[in-house]
Amino acid sequence: MLNLLTVKKTGAKGKANKDPNKPKRPASAFFVFMEEFRKQFKEEHPDNKSVAAVGKAGGVKWKSMSDADKAPYVAKAEKRKAEYEKNMTAYNKKQAAGGTDEDDASDKSKSEVNEGEDSDDEEDDE
């Protein structure tokens, strides 16, 4: 009998580590709209706890809105996008210059630990 629990995946590696200092991508106009819509929906329907219902109702309302009604949300999304691009430019310059300050601090502490271990070995030899 084949034991399916012991089969290993080959070739697929885990997720790459994400940099916590990297700026997050901005929300689209629809998600900016949904931020407001969720609050409004909760006030109108306090008993409805379904995430799917909120999303479905928001999608229906978004589709029914005219471009003029969507304009404030599009403007907010564009503003967030411009700020994100500015932050990404600064982030990329910092990365090209040699990484973050935290990386430098951790490298320093590692080298200090290694130096301390080397000196202990020399004392044991004597």
For 56-102, what is each residue's pLDDT tens digit? Answer: 999 999 999 999 999 999 999 999 999 999 999 999 999 998 855 55
Residue 38 located in a structural domain: yes
Given a contact cutoff of 8 angstroms between Cβ atoms, the answer to whether 94 and 100 are in contact is yes
The whole-model pTM stands at 0.62
Kindly state whether residue 41 falls inside one of the protein's structural domains. yes
Residue 34 lies in a domain: yes
> Does 108 reside within a domain?
no
Is residue 11 domain-resident? Answer: no
- Domain residues for 76? 24-99
As to burial, measured by CB atoms within 10 angstroms (0-12 exposed, 13-18 middle, 19+ buried), residue 89 is exposed
For residue 90, being part of any structural domain is answered with: yes
Answer yes or no: is 86 within a domain: yes
Return the CATH number at 69: 1.10.30.10
